[in-house]
Structure 1
């Protein structure tokens, strides 16, 4: 019974935090705001979290852990050119929809700008792991410094996902996964025809 109550309390705290993150931003909200909105007392909050930054950190870690698990599940494809398989991207986008308001708040104006950087690092690690395991793939930069080549590769994935979230997920996860999959084969000049 106690674990069910703990889970319910954490859900209420998370919902309150999401609402307040949109309304006030991370710097503007307080633990008192969270407890009042969640209709719990401060002692209950402090049973679970040290402060609002601990809450933020744990929420972000949970989201990123779930995304990492999705990418790891699909990491062993037979296709050497499939850095992040369509199925992994699709499942990740479906997961984003389950936490949409929270994730949108995290990447929004009052959110945590480091969250986007950490997400990019997750994508980069996933791609790097695939390259290291492959006998076929190498990181050929075609005359570009490595740091810029990596940024171009990451930006094509991350930017599309961020734009989709900022547009309130107007397209389906299937459409966005297809767009991301298509960008793997496109160079910017082909978009200008």
Structure 2
């Protein structure tokens, strides 16, 4: 009986999260109501409130679950992976593969009616990866030509910007292609890969 209840709870939560994503493709989050969510998920209001406090709770838990799964999947598996010498970089490859596999979620969260707080949290994950790389492998981090914070923000925002473009254009390139090009731009620099000296 417990297993049956657990499966029912899991199904209900999944239906509500799918309803949230579906509605976000059509309207801003502020326009979404509990009534719209429950109608789309085909459940009653009392069932919604048995699992979530309000729509903000649903949104936060949906984002957190996806970001936790993303981090667990793409986090460097060894210290060697933090070295940016390999093209494509293994971190970038796992990241683009994960985003490709969960494309609908990322398109919604980073799209026209997307959630700015999700984008900020996603950006922070990339910044932390870059910071770990610098702290472990830069020979003299205190002697950089620019403050490391500027470097980290430049690379991380560039990465997220390219991923946003990829999503907006229906991921027309493969995840492997994206990982390779992102790695080249990060390692060699944008002007170098563009053929500008």
TM-score range, shorter chain: 0.7 to 0.9
CA distance in 2, matches of 1:84, 1:121: 23
Check 1:135–1:97 CA distance in 2 against 1; reply closer, same or farther (3 A cut): closer
TM-score by length of 1: 0.87
User: How far is 1:50 from its partner?
Assistant: 1.0
User: Which residue, out of 166, 173, 178, partners 2:168?
Assistant: 166
Instruction: Give the aligned partner of residue 9 of structure 1.
Output: 12
Counting only pairs closer than 5 Å after superposition, residues 84-123 of structure 1 correspond to structure 2 as: 86-123=89-126
Given that 2:127 and 2:153 are in contact with CA atoms closer than 8 Å, whether structure 1 keeps it comes out as no
Which residue of structure 1 lines up, in the alignment, with residue 178 of structure 2?
Answer: 176
Counterparts of 2:118 and 2:82 in 1: how far apart (Å)? Answer: 30
Q: Is 1:22–1:105's contact at 8 Å kept on the other side of the alignment? A: yes
Shift in Å at residue 82 of structure 1? 5.2
Structure 2 vs 1, CA of residues 149 and 140 (structure 1 numbering), >3 Å: closer, same or farther? Answer: farther
Structure 2, unpaired ranges of 5+: none
Aligned to 1:18: 21
Alpha-carbon separation, structure 2, partners of 1:163 and 1:6:
36
8 Å Cα contact 1:80-1:136 kept in structure 2: no
Which residues in structure 2 correspond to 1:145-160 (within 5 Å)? 145-160=147-162
Q: Give SS of 2:80's match.
A: coil
Q: Residue deviations 1:129-160, cap 9 Å, x none?
A: 23333474736541x34443222121232121
Alpha carbons of structure 1 residues 77 and 30: separation in structure 2 relative to 1, 3 Å = same
Q: Tell me how large the CA RMSD over aligned residues is.
A: 2.4
The Cα offsets for residues 51-103 of structure 1, whole Å up to 9 and x where unpaired, read as 11111111111111112112334352266345997222222222223322222
